[in-house]
Chain A
Amino acid sequence: DSGVTQTPKHLITATGQRVTLRCSPRSGDLSVYWYQQSLDQGLQFLIQYYNGEERAKGNILERFSAQQFPDLHSELNLSSLELGDSALYFCASSARRGQGNEQFFGPGTRLTVL
């Protein structure tokens, strides 16, 4: 158990809908990262927050957004869903930001868009 929790574990929805994925980092970790894992694109970095502020952006679509709350949990919002958004979404946390810091991954949320 990494100490990172993600809910829900599975999510099935329809095209055009909007969903919210939730992540609770390890106790005390200030940095939260979101990644998408799909068969065709592999594992891709989406976005990072540190202590409530956005710090880095990767291949995140404009339809997607995220935020980190004062209690440090984070939410990833996916809207106008398309079939191609079906993937595993992982959240990871680390104590600090920067190179060399170990990231602890949650179990992921499997999103299926029908």
Chain B
Amino acid sequence: QQQVKQSPQSLIVQKGGISIINCAYENTAFDYFPWYQQFPGKGPALLIAIRPDVSEKKEGRFTISFNKSAKQFSLHIMDSQPGDSATYFCAATQSGFQKLVFGTGTRLLVSP
């Protein structure tokens, strides 16, 4: 019940296209869902996060869509750029509990 399932494992998108990464969770106590971007040899960087009281959050080219009833959330990267090529992790946690449960990661390659 603590798992967060992430798909796809890898993704190749052409420059300018839309990258979509999906995550699903089981624990209905989760109430904070961040996305992290990680480049090789670096630590993860917080990209965008959402709480279940909203269905969508947009920051620049990055959008999180959240479906509470389906217990799913997704990251959309609009106008994908080669510089977006990285590994993306979704995560979930309970506020106050602080421990993050990570998805398995998606390796995104944006071809020029």
Chains A and B bind each other: no
Q: Give A contacts to B, CB under 8 Å.
A: none
